[in-house]
Amino acid sequence: MKTLIKKITFLLIIMTVFISCSNSRNSENSTEEISLIGKWKLIEARYSDGGSNPPIWTPITNGYVLTLNKDLSFTSTQIIECINGTYTNLNGKITLLYACGNNTIPNQFIVLSNSKTEMIIKNINCIEDCADKFKKIN
């Protein structure tokens, strides 16, 4: 009986270690996949008119480019007068602080999905179903 209890305990310990190692590998891969660092180009937008028709993705010609750097600085071609600043990332809520002379202009959005090649965001101020789709360009 003692031998059986020891074997079961040993098996449970081995399974716990195996599961723990498996989860940590998945977490590392997930972190790598959801990295926002890089150069992103707006390629499609989806905006609702508030009506009964569901919004559809619309291709964007010459979309703006957003570059997020590791040092929490960014550059963007969205606002011509203000092309850089700093950003924060708190649990998928990104705040861009555009440096415009002596002022800063905030822009907040939520990351709806992200992969190594594509990012979909929603502006915090958007009430209806809306989103912007970016393609990683480097």
Span 12-65, pLDDT tens digits: 344 433 333 434 444 333 334 358 999 999 999 998 877 778 889 999 999 999
pLDDT 10s digits, 87-101: 999 888 999 999 998
3-class secondary structure, 137: coil
| pTM of the predicted protein model | 0.72
User: In terms of DSSP H, where are the helices of 1-138?
Assistant: 2-33
pLDDT band at 3 (very low <50, low <70, confident <90, very high): low
For 73, the enclosing helix (H) or strand (E) is strand 73-76
pLDDT 10s digits, 98-111: 999 888 999 999 99
Q: Is the dihedral of CA 76, 80, 84, 87 positive or negative?
A: negative
Here the tokens at position 59 are: 């291709």
Task: Name the CA radius of gyration of the chain, rounded.
Answer: 22
